[in-house]
Amino acid sequence: MHPNQQIERWLAASRESFSQHERPFVTLSYAQGWDGSITLRTGQPLALSGEESTRLTHHLRSQHDGILVGIGTVLSDDPQLNVRQWSGPTPPGPNPQPIVLDSQLRIPAAARLCHLADKRCWVLTSRSGVELVDSSLEIITLPGDAEGRVCLHEALRELRRRGIRSLMVEGGANVITAFLRERLVDALVLTVAPILVGGYKAVGDLGIAVKAQLPRIAPVFNSRLGDDVILWGNLHYEEASS
Ligand SMILES: NC(=O)c1ccc[n+]([C@@H]2O[C@H](COP(=O)([O-])OP(=O)(O)OC[C@H]3O[C@@H](n4cnc5c(N)ncnc54)[C@H](OP(=O)(O)O)[C@@H]3O)[C@@H](O)[C@H]2O)c1
């Protein structure tokens, strides 16, 4: 079976056994070099995925109700977050709902996410009393966390209320780290490109000092797409029993 189909089936089964109803099932998916870097330095785009892995990313997008990135990624990559690259006999899957974490409403009016043909991008902010800056955006005001950033637990509750049952989180590093710190990632699909970047790492301080409490992935699956290695598995946060 092609890896895209394997991952699709595994995701469907993982979602099936997901028992929480107050938030969406969360899949974290990003690309890194062999050294764990996602780009040279923050604010700078770097295409790491090969052609087939890029198609996998678009395939995965179509398997989720929503797709979320941080404002740092919007400012550096100007992504569209839709399904454009596709292979196989079936037509492309649907576009997910694009969502941006943007506490201070820094999203520029010229961003491609402000000009999508079929969707109004949802912008999650913790700034209150803000008028709608662009009719192509829907501003959703939520409580802030201790640092004034959008509270992820509140954000996920609100997304679930709005019908988002599955959410793909694509980055960048601050967002990846924040979701992991809050134990809000259920599944991980990682593309490892055969390059050493020596740059900006995907995962920062998780605030955990004990090995048994670090998030673990099990079972572990892997495959090759071109020269990229794809790793995928479910996240577990419980303390190991042995
Ligand atoms: N290789 C890959 O797969 C991949 C994928 C995505 C991005 N990238 C790269 O990653 C870089 C961007 O990463 P980044 O770490 O600078 O930015 P980021 O993670 O995309 O965005 C971080 C920003 O999101 C906002 N935010 C709001 N609520 C948050 C919360 N609860 N937790 C964390 N952040 C929250 C914060 O800005 P405010 O305080 O202003 O709200 C924060 O600074 C770019 O260079 C991009 O090219 C690579």
Q: Which atom of ligand 1 lies closest to the CA of 48?
A: 1
> Is there a domain that residue 13 lies in?
no
Split into its structural domains, the chain has a count of: 1
At 229 the three-state DSSP class reads: strand
> Is there a domain that residue 18 lies in?
no
The two structure tokens encoding residue 100: 């941006």
Ligand 1 proximity of 70 Cβ (cutoff 6 Å): yes
- Quick: pLDDT tens for 139-178: 999 999 999 999 999 999 999 999 999 999 999 999 999 9
> Is there a domain that residue 27 lies in?
yes
Q: Give the domain extent around 161.
A: 23-234
> Is there a domain that residue 12 lies in?
no
- Quick: pLDDT tens for 56-96: 999 999 999 999 999 999 999 999 999 988 766 666 778 99
Residue 238 gets which letter from DSSP? S
> Is there a domain that residue 124 lies in?
yes
Instruction: Indicate the pTM of the whole model.
Output: 0.96
The two structure tokens encoding residue 130: 């803000």
Domain of residue 179, CATH code: 3.40.430.10
Residues whose CB is less than 8 angstroms from the CB of residue 210 and which lie 6 or more positions away in sequence, other chains included: none
- Quick: pLDDT tens for 30-66: 999 999 999 999 999 999 999 999 999 999 999 999 9
> Is there a domain that residue 62 lies in?
yes
> Is there a domain that residue 241 lies in?
no
Ligand 1 proximity of 228 Cβ (cutoff 6 Å): no
Confidence of residue 131 (pLDDT cuts 50, 70, 90): low
> Is there a domain that residue 39 lies in?
yes
